[in-house]
Amino acid sequence: MSRRLPLIALLVVLPLWLAASYGLRYALMEDPQWVGACMDAATRWECQVRSGLGLMIHFRVIAWSGLVASVVAFVAPGKLGWWLAVVALLVAVPALVLYSVSLAVFAVVIAGLRLVRR
């Protein structure tokens, strides 16, 4: 296995993850049809997911998770730190897209710095 394979895989997965996050934002969170549908039938699973995600956004759970993971990854040695930075990046990217930019930007920067560090 090549040493660059995890980096190449990350560079392929990250744009797909970003696109999926934007899809979630515009298809579920901002689509006006869900506002009306969830007013009528709040017990639908889509409405429950939307509500739970809204609470996670409101309390910035996703952004804080990404920030904590990136700080831990920054101080963790070797491959463990690198893989934790990947996880932090995969958590922080949806936080950037889903209205928690103020904290998530620091998580992305710290995780990115850890990824480029040897």
Instruction: List pLDDT tens digits, range 36-74.
Output: 888 888 888 888 999 999 999 999 999 999 999 999 999
Whole-structure pTM value: 0.89
The domain tally of the chain equals 1
Give the integer Cα–Cα distance in Å for 43 and 46. 8
Does the pLDDT at position 28 exceed 80? yes
Looking at this protein, which amino acid is placed at residue 104?
A
Instruction: Specify whether the CB–CB gap between 17 and 90 falls below 8 A.
Output: yes
Nearest Cα neighbor of 105 from 63, 65, 54 is 63
Which pLDDT band holds residue 26 (cuts at 50, 70, 90)? very high
Residue 65's H or E segment, with its range, is helix 61-75
- Provide the domain limits for residue 89: 5-116
Task: Provide the 3-class DSSP secondary structure of residue 100.
Answer: coil
- Quote the percentage of the chain above a pLDDT of 70: 99
